[in-house]
Amino acid sequence: MNRTSRLIAHPLFLVPLLFAGASLQAQSPFDGMWRFNYDLGKAPEKPSAYSLIHGMYTCSSCVPRIEVKADGTDQPVTGQAVDTMSVRAVDSKTVIRIGKKKGTVFYEVTQTASDDGKTLTSTTAYPMNSDPKSAFHITFTRVAPAPAGAHAISGSWRFAGGKTSGNAGVITVKSTADGLSYSDFSGASYTAKLDGKDYPVTGGGLWTSVSLKRIDDRTIEETDKRGDKVSSLSRCTISPDGTKMTVADTNKLTGDHSTAVYEKQ
C-alpha cells in the first residue's frame, strides 16, 4: 500500500510502489489487470507529518525531508517523484500542492482539515493520466496537534481509510519469455527477468530500478531502488483462487512495514 507505503504513507508521491511479478510460463497467476483496495491491507504505522507556518511548507515524514516556500510558485525538490513542487493555502483549512516533472504537472493534491481539526482529507489527482477522474481519496486522523499559528493541515496524521476512482491504483502485468512486464496508471513501467538482477523502471518517479526473484509459482520477491540505494523490499503472493495479490512491503528508507492487496479485474 504506498506501493503499500507509496499509496498510503505518502499519497502525494504515491506512486509507486505498485508491485507485480510473474513466472516463466506463457500465462502465470500474476498475469492480468489488478486494482489496489485500501480496505483489505494494513497501512504503515508511522504517521505523516506536515507543517505550513511562516510561509514555509514542510513534510518532515518525507524521505528526503521537503521544505519549500508556500507562495504558489514552483520550488525545486530533490529525491522525490517530481522535480518541482508548488504549495498554496486556498483558505484556512485547505492547501493545494502541485508536483511537476520536467515542467509538466504530474500530480495535484488537495488537503482539507475538518472544522474540528481532527480529520484530514486528501485527494491526489493525476492530470497527466488519460482518465481525468483518476484519483486517490484518503482520510487521516490527527495524532499530534499543529504548532501554534500554523495552518490547519499542520501536525501528525495517521491513515484512517481510502478509496480510488477512475484507474488510480490499477496495474497491468504480462508474462514475457523469461520474466514479466509491468505498467501502472501513473506511467511507470518495466520489463524484468526473474534472475535477481536490476532492471530500469521508466516513469516511476520514486523508484529507478527493480529486481525480481521467484520464490515459487505464486510468490515473487521484489527489490526496488532509488539510484544505488534500496528503497523497499516486497514479497508478492497470489491467492489460491487467483483473485487477490497480497504485497508485504518493508520501506527501507523509513522502516515502515505495510501490506497491500490488489484484486484481479
What ranges do the domains of the chain cover? 32-42+172-264, 48-165
Helix (H, G, I), strand (E, B) or coil at 96: strand
Summarised one tens digit per residue, pLDDT across range 70-93 is 999 999 998 888 899 999 999 999
Residue 7, CA atoms < 13 Å, CB-side half-sphere? 35
Query: Going by DSSP bridges, is the β-strand pair 94-101/104-113 parallel, antiparallel, or unpaired?
Result: antiparallel
pTM equals 0.83
Per-residue pLDDT at 58 = 96
Residue 98: name the closest of 39, 152, 57 by CA: 57
Architecture of domain 32-42+172-264: Beta Barrel (2.40)
Residues 151 and 89: beta-carbon distance below 8 Å: yes
How far apart, in whole angstroms, are the C-alpha atoms of residue 16 and residue 2? 7
pLDDT tens digits, residue range 89-108?
A: 999 999 999 999 889 898 89
Average pLDDT for 26-51:
91
For 52, the enclosing helix (H) or strand (E) is strand 48-53
